[in-house]
Structure 1
C-alpha cells in the first residue's frame, strides 16, 4: 500500500518505527532488509514496497491510535506488523489487553513455549527466562482478551499464561510481544539471538 507523499520513500522491506532520531538498542546495521522510520513521518512515508513494520515498546501509542486506519490497512492488505511492549491504546483491531503479572520468584517469570512459530524456532526457553543471571527481562506480564483465532507462541509463569501471540488481520498478520523489544536480544551469546533475524524473515514474507 502507499501513502500520498512520494518524497518520503521507504528504503527497506522492514521498517522499525522509532521515536525521532532514536536508534533502537540491539538493532543491526548489517541487515539491509531493516530500516528505520520516525513515527511522526510514518503517515507521509511511501509504504508501497514495505512488507513489515516493527513498532517498538517506546512508540507513541496516542499518535498510533490517531493513525489507526493507516496501520490497519497496511496489515489488511497483506503485510505484517510486530508490536512490542505494553499496548495501552487500541491502535490496531484485535490487540489484547496487557496485564501486570504478580510474581514472587523466578518461576513466576519463567518463559515456556506454546504454539510453534518461526520467530522462536531454535530458541531455548531458558535463554528467554534468564538473562545475565536475572529473570524478568523478557516480560513481566501476560496477554488478556486476545483474539479467538490467535495462536499463543510463548507463555509465562507457573500457570503458563499467554504472553506472545499472533493473529490474522485481513490478509496480513500481527505479532504481539508484551515485553522489551525482541531486537534487544540480537547480540546475546545464546539462542535468543536467533529472534531478530527470524523476526525479519517472518516480516518480509507474504
Structure 2
C-alpha cells in the first residue's frame, strides 16, 4: 500500500481543469487531492505527507504564508517544488536563474547518477519536444545546502533538480522544471518519470519515518 498522501496547490490556471492534471492525455490524478492555493493558510494539511507546488502559483501569497510550508516540513514531511522561485518561501532553495544559452544544445540535460526517478529516461527525449529544446527545463535554483543530492543537471553541471534533506526536518525536492506528475503518459521514455517519482516518494517517506522513530 502506498505511503504517500499527496495534496497539490491548485493555481486555477489554464493548464488545470476540474482537478485534472494537464498531462499528455489529460487523465485524472486520482492519487492527488487538490486545494485552492489561497486556502493554504486555513486548510487542514494534517492528513497529508506530501505537498506539491507547481508553475503559475502565486508566490507572493506563498511567501506571505511561508510558515505553513516550514511547519509542514518540520513535521517530517515532503514538499515538492516544480516552479521558478522568485521569492524565498521555502528553506534551502535559491531563487531561479535562467540558463545562459548560445545554442539549443545548451539545454541538454543528464541524470546526476543512475539511481534516480529519471532512470531509463532518454535525455534527448526529455530535452526536446516536437523539435523544441528546453521545454522541460530552462534554468536552475542555486543549491543553498552543500549536502543536497543533485538528481538532474545540465551537461555543464548546473543543477536542475535536487533533494535537500538537511535544511528542515523533512525533505524538499526542488526542480526548476516541469511538473513531475504530468510525465505519466506518452509514447516515449519520459513517461517513466511519474511512476518512478511516486515510488521514490514512498521510499523517502519510509526513510523519514525511520528518522522520526
Q: Shared fold (TM-score greater than 0.5)?
A: yes
Match of 2:82 among 81, 84, 100: 84
1:170 to partner: Cα distance: 2.7
**RMSD (Å) for aligned C-alpha atoms:** 2.1
Alpha-carbon spacing, 1:20–1:130, altered in 2? closer, same or farther (3 Å): closer
Residue matched to 2:5: 13
TM-score for the superposition, normalised by structure 2: 0.81
> Which digits, 9 at most, give the CA deviation of each residue in 1:89-147, with x for residues without a partner?
00011112321112122320001111455432332222211222221101111232431
Decide whether aligned partners of structure 1 residues 78 and 116 sit closer, same or farther in structure 2, where only a CA change above 3 A counts.
farther
2:161 alignment counterpart: 164
After the TM superposition, list the runs of 4 or more consecutive aligned residues in structure 1 that deviate by more than 4 angstroms.
none
- In 2: Cα distance, 1:162 partner to 1:55 partner: 19
Q: What is the CA–CA distance in structure 2 between the aligned matches of 1:89 and 1:101, rounded to whole Å?
A: 18
Task: Show structure 1 runs of 5+ residues with no match.
Answer: 1-11
In 2, Cα distance between equivalents of 1:51 and 1:25: 23
What is the TM-score normalised by the length of structure 1?
0.84
In 2 relative to 1, CA 125–117 (structure 1 residues): closer, same or farther, beyond 3 Å?
same
